[in-house]
Structure formats: C-alpha cells, structure tokens
C-alpha cells in the first residue's frame, strides 16, 4: 500500500510540475495545455517503468502465469537398466500440466518457450536454472514448477533468484538413485624422450554411493594400464595418478581413458581422450643449430629462463642426425630431421641458428615458417631466406654503437653500458640499407658507419628477429657483458611473444581435443593457392570446404567422436593431414542432486518474497515506443508554437 501511495504522490507531483512549467514559466501559447499533457504523460510513464508496475494477467499480454520449467540437459537421459529415464518421466508430467493450462519452458544452457514436441529430447550441455527463473519472473509468471533431476550447475544463483524473485516455486525431482561414475578430466603430459615413461592423471566423479571404480587407460586403442580405486564422495572429485609405460611410437600419440562401475546409467561421461607429443613438448621453445657454435649453449638456457617456456635444443652432427642439447642425463639418442621438424612445427618460439648456403630443403622451410622465430643466418644465401638480401659476411671487429635506435627493445637497453663490450664479427651488410631499421647498431673498429646487427620484423605470418652478426656469446662469457646479453635477448623474446599468435606451420585445428558443442576452428598459414579441407569420420566425409588464404576458419560443430582430416592442394596433392577428437565428456552428472533452497513439490515457497501477480510493464515494447512518440510530439508542438 505504501508503494502505491508513493507512486500516486510522485505522479501527481510530476503532472503538477508539467502544467506549472507550461502555464507559468513558458511563454503563453494556444497549445500550452496539450504540450503540458504530453510532458506529464511522458514523465508518468517513465515513473511506472521505474516502479516496475505489473499489468494484470491476460491484460495486454499472452501466456499463462503458471510455468513448467523442464530440464532438457543431458543428465536427464540417464536411465537405470531398462527403466524409464528421468526425461521420459518429466516430459510426461510436463504434458499433463500443459493440458491443464501451464506454459512449458525447457531449460539447459538457456530457456526456450514453446510447445513440447513429441520428438524432443535432452540435449543441452549445461543445467542452468537461474536464467529460466529470471525469464519467468520477467514474463509475469506467478507459479513455477521445476521438473528436473536437480543436478544444477548454478545452485548458488538459483538460491539467490528464489529469494529475489516474486515467484512461488515448487520442485519435482526425477531420476533418483542412479548409479554412475564418470571422468571429469584426463591429462597425459608430453614425453620428451621416447624411452621415458609418463604419469597420466584421471579425475573421476560419481553420482551415487559407489564403493570402487575401475579406471583403464589405452594407447592408440591398446590397453596400457588398469587399476581399481576407491570412489570419491558424491559431489566431490578424485584425481588418480596412472603410471604409463614408455610410448610405442613417436609423434602425437592418442590416449583414451575409461571408467566402469556395474549398472552405470549414464555412459556419456565414461570416456575421455588426450593427446601427448612423444619426442618433444608442444608449445616449447625450440632451438635448432645447423653448425657448431658457442651461441646455442648460452642462448637456450637464457631464453628458457626469461620466457618460462620448456626448452628443446638440437645440434646437427650429421646429414640426418641431431643430438638433443642439455644436461648429459637429459640427453637422448640422436634423432632424425623428421623429429626435429615435428618439434619445430609445435614450437611457440623457434630459434634457427647457422642458416647458410648448405641448408637443405627442410631447414629452408623452417626459415620461412609462420609464427615467432629468431633466425641466425651465417651467409648471404641464409640471409636471403630470411627476407633480407645481404652481401657475404664481412670480417673484422664490430663494436656496438652507443646510440640506441628507436625499436621495440629500446626500453630494455636503456641505461646499459654498451661501451667496452667484446666485439661482434661476421656482419652481414644489407644490400639496401634503407629497407632495414636495425634494433642494434654496430661499427667497424668502433668508428665506421653504423650497421644493423639485429632486425625485428612484423610479418603477416608472425614476428621474426633476424640476427645479422655473430659472436654475441662473448658477452655472456664476460662479466661486464652478461647483463647486456640478458637484457638484449629478454627484450627480443618479450617482443616476439607479446604479439598475436602466429599461424600454424600447416593447416590444422587449433585444438586437438575440441570441447563438446563448440565449433572446430582451424589455424591457416598464409597461402595464396586454392586449398580444400576434408574431414572424415570413418569412411565418410563430414566436411568438405575450401579454405581461406590465411588466419582462421570455423567448420561448425561436430558430434563427439574421432575424426581424420586432410588438406588438399589441387587434384592429388595432400599438404597436411592428421586427426582430432570432439570430446564426449560432460560434467552433467558431477553435481549432487539437491533442492536448492526450496521445498519439495506442494510445500510453501521461500519466505519473505512479495508475490506480485501480473506481467511487468517493462517487458512490453509499447511503453518505450509511446515515450518516444510523446517526446517527438512535444518537440514538434513546441517548434510550431514558437517555443525553443
């Protein structure tokens, strides 16, 4: 009652103010009363919206004030043995209420109003009830009945909504006493050495009082581990470490995990998939040295320290043999160029050292890879591969200039003492110096023309640092040069990693495990030629589309499962191929089934909530259109009457 008295008092004040303004303050015009009425109507209508006035049910709106919120999430499809599922029971109950005049609304990730179709099923990937309650309150519903298994993802938000919304909410629970165990998460780390074992981690959950769970892990479909573990308390999760034997192959290896309990009623969360890179780590900092030199020994640990990335180093010792760098205990047997290429393809940052005239085809391809790279050419032919034509290396003692040019790393080098550093050597002088803006300058014998020793390029495929001089390792070997050496390369690494992620070396999905319900997105390198992407499930193609020239492209949402892909150029040239999975794992059964802050069906709703029947005025479009029309009419009337 007080609310309505306050509303009437304010409305009367606004009407009086409007007429006083036009009849006492403004210049007297014949249309003053009509203009005052338009102003008063506008202000009163805005006041009604602010006070959240509700219209009587059926007055100006359609639909019932009694709503059924039917849970359409995946967990509603769980069925024990041959019994009816929670969805079958709840949908039958919803149809009964629909015949009695209730409005049926399904909810999952979002609320959907409409008639319940005969072929409808539980397919939502989330169980969010709070948005559906908000929508019911906005639409003027008075009574709400929730039909669900009550495994709600947003139980806290639901309790808040029950307190704040003027709704009479009742809950009916379906799907009691289900037996289920599922996998919440499955991780297998990358294995740097093929002869090393790995420890996987399987996170499990259960939906009822289960004593124990059998966990199995498979490598490329072959069983490699099985153990039986105690089940966690329902509503909690347990992380299970699983020791795996050394992988049987190198490259990207597919692992799968499964859990089993007798009478499991929900198979959708029984399995999970993970990929591990064997022989290297994905997302690492990879250094490839094509010639013996002291630079990699100092540069690799420093870059690993300043970036925080895992590091991999390979030193060429033969035509197709590379020795891994690092401590003696961490080194493995020599690997071939194919293994190095796989590591470089998955690298976050690549350092290619010793790029000369004798570089073979695969090394030249590394120099032109998209992404973030540091390139050390040693000859004019190597510099040409980096995109900077130069002459042959010029001998002599090249000292760093004290003038720091404007560049992305100028701030990092500010304040350091560049005088007295050991000289650099074998400087590659650009044929067209005007095209090169060096980030670090050197002078022959400290007095010649400044020349670029380091070039930072922003290219369509990513960021590249080209080093046009040799001998930086001498700075790291001297006491007075270590700080400058660290600042220089930390600045270069920071600039490289601060840019947008570069495109992949070849077309491939951005995720090897695509979450269920999300589109498959592809990373595409720069390529002006026509390419086609073919994605297959078994023997049938599910996607066959042309690819864009660069950037990324989405091929939509795919059902859970394992897929193979190939990228074709022309009629019979395959330039990329691989596989990926769309995860089937869901956390629908992880929450404990419980009534969130309200009683079971038939009992009283939450106390202290004012029950205000009717539909809110603010949910209709006509009040806003009427306000706009009144404002326009008043403005036109004032202009025609000579008022400003």
How far is the C-alpha of 266 from the C-alpha of 264, rounded, in Å?
6
Among 199-203, 547-551, 604-608, 634-638, name the one with the lowest average pLDDT.
604-608
Taking the C-alpha atoms of residue 37 and residue 23, their distance in angstroms, rounded to an integer, is: 11
Chain segment 585-603, per-residue pLDDT in tens: 889 888 888 888 644 444 4
Q: What is the pLDDT of residue 550?
A: 66
Encode pLDDT of 329-345 as tens digits. 455 678 888 888 888 88
Tokens, residue 618: 């603010």
Q: For residues 106 and 123, give the distance between their C-alpha atoms in angstroms, rounded to a whole number.
A: 11
3-state secondary structure (DSSP) of residue 640: helix
Q: DSSP letters of 614-634? A: SEEGGG-SHHHHHHHHHHHHH
Per-residue pLDDT, averaged over 218-244, amounts to: 94
**Lowest-confidence segment of 278-282, 342-346, 404-408, 576-580 by average pLDDT:** 278-282
Beta bridge partners of 204: 183, 238
* Average pLDDT of span 521-542: 83
Under the banding of pLDDT at 50, 70 and 90, the label for residue 358 is confident
- Number of CB atoms found within 10 A of residue 463's CB: 22
Q: Where are the beta strands (DSSP E) in 17-96?
A: 54-55, 66-71
Phi then psi dihedrals of residue 362, to 5 deg = -70, -30
- The three-class DSSP label of residue 139 is coil
User: What is the percent of the chain with per-residue pLDDT over 90, rounded to a whole number?
Assistant: 41
- The string of pLDDT tens digits covering residues 373-425 is 999 999 999 999 988 999 999 999 999 988 888 889 998 888 888 888 999 99
By DSSP bridging, strand 561-569 and strand 573-582 are antiparallel
Output the pLDDT for position 625: 92
Distances (CA, A) of 574 to 460, 565, 578: 24, 10, 11
pLDDT at residue number 338: 83
With a cut of 80, say whether residue 51 has pLDDT above it: yes
pLDDT at res. 90: 92
Residue 99 has a CB neighbour count (10 Å cut-off) of: 8
Burial of 229 (0-12, 13-18, 19+ CB in 10 A): middle
What's residue 210's pLDDT?
Answer: 84
Average pLDDT, the chain: 86
Percent of the chain with pLDDT over 70: 92
Give dist(CA 310, CA 624) in Å, integer. 58
Of 323, 372, 376, the residue nearest 352 (C-alpha):
376
Asked whether the beta carbons of 439 and 455 are under 8 A apart, the reply is: yes
* CA dist., res. 484 & res. 476, Å (int): 8
Complete edge-to-edge strand list for the sheet that includes strand 532-537? 513-514, 573-582, 561-569, 532-537, 540-546
- Range with lowest mean pLDDT among 167-171, 442-446, 592-596, 618-622: 618-622
Residue 519 has pLDDT above 80, yes or no: yes
């Amino acid at each position: 009652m007080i609310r309505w008295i306050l509303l009437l008092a304010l409305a009367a004040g606004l009407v009086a103010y409007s007429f006083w303004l036009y009849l006492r303050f403004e210049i007297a015009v014949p249309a003053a009363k009509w203009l005052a009425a338009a102003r008063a109507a506008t202000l009163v209508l805005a006041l009604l919206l602010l006070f959240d006035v509700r219209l009587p049910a059926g007055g100006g709106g359609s639909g019932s004030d009694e709503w059924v919120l039917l849970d359409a999430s995946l967990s509603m499809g769980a069925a024990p043995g041959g019994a009816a599922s929670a969805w079958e029971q709840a949908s039958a109950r919803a149809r009964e209420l629909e015949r009695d005049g209730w409005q049926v609304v399904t909810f999952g990730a979002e609320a959907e109003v409409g008639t319940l179709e005969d072929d409808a099923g539980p397919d939502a990937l989330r169980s969010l009830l709070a948005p559906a309650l908000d929508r019911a309150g906005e639409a003027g519903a008075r009574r709400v009945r929730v039909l669900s298994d009550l495994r709600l993802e947003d139980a806290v938000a639901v309790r808040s909504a029950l307190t704040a919304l003027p709704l009479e909410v009742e809950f009916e629970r379906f799907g009691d006493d289900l037996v289920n165990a599922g996998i919440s998460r499955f991780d297998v780390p990358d294995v740097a050495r093929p002869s090393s074992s790995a420890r996987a981690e399987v996170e499990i959950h259960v939906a009822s009082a289960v004593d124990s769970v059998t966990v199995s892990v498979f490598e490329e479909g072959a069983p490699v581990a099985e153990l039986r573990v105690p089940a966690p308390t329902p509503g909690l999760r347990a992380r299970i470490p699983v020791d795996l034997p050394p992988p049987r192959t190198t490259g990207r290896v597919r692992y799968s995990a499964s859990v089993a309990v007798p009478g499991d009623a929900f198979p959708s969360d029984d399995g999970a998939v993970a990929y591990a890179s064997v022989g290297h780590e994905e997302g690492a900092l990879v250094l490839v040295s094509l010639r013996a030199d002291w630079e990699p020994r100092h540069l690799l640990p420093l870059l690993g320290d300043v970036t925080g990335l895992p590091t991999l180093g390979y030193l060429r010792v033969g035509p197709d043999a590379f020795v891994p760098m690092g401590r003696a205990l961490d080194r493995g047997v020599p690997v071939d160029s194919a293994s190095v290429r796989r590591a470089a393809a998955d690298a976050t940052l690549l350092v290619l050292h010793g790029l000369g005239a004798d570089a073979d085809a695969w090394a030249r391809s590394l120099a032109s890879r998209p992404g973030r790279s540091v390139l050390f050419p040693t000859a004019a032919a190597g510099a040409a591969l980096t995109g900077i034509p130069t002459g042959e290396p010029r001998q002599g003692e090249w000292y760093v200039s004290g003038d720091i040019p404007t560049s992305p790393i100028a701030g990092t080098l500010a304040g350091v003492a560049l005088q007295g550093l050991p000289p650099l050597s074998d400087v590659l002088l650009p044929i067209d110096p005007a095209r090169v803006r060096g980030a670090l300058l050197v002078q022959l014998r400290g007095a010649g023309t400044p020349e670029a020793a380091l070039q930072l390029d922003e290219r369509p495929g990513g960021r590249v640092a080209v080093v046009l001089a040799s001998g930086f390792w001498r700075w790291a070997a001297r006491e007075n040069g270590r700080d400058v050496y660290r600042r220089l390369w930390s600045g270069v690494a920071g600039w490289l990693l601060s840019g947008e992620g570069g495109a992949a070396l070849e077309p491939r999905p951005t995720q090897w495990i695509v979450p269920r319900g999300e589109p498959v997105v592809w990373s595409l390198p720069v390529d002006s030629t026509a390419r086609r992407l073919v994605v297959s499930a078994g023997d049938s193609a599910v996607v066959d589309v042309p690819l864009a020239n660069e950037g990324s492209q989405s091929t939509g949402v795919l059902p859970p499962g394992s897929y193979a892909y190939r990228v074709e150029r022309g009629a019979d040239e395959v330039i990329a191929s691989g596989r990926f999975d769309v995860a089937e794992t869901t956390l629908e059964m992880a929450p404990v089934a419980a009534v969130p802050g309200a009683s079971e069906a038939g009992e009283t709703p939450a106390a202290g909530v004012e029950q205000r029947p009717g539909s809110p005025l603010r949910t209709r479009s006509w009040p806003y259109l009427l306000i706009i029309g009144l404002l326009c009419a008043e403005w036109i009337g004032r202009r025609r009457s000579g008022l400003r």
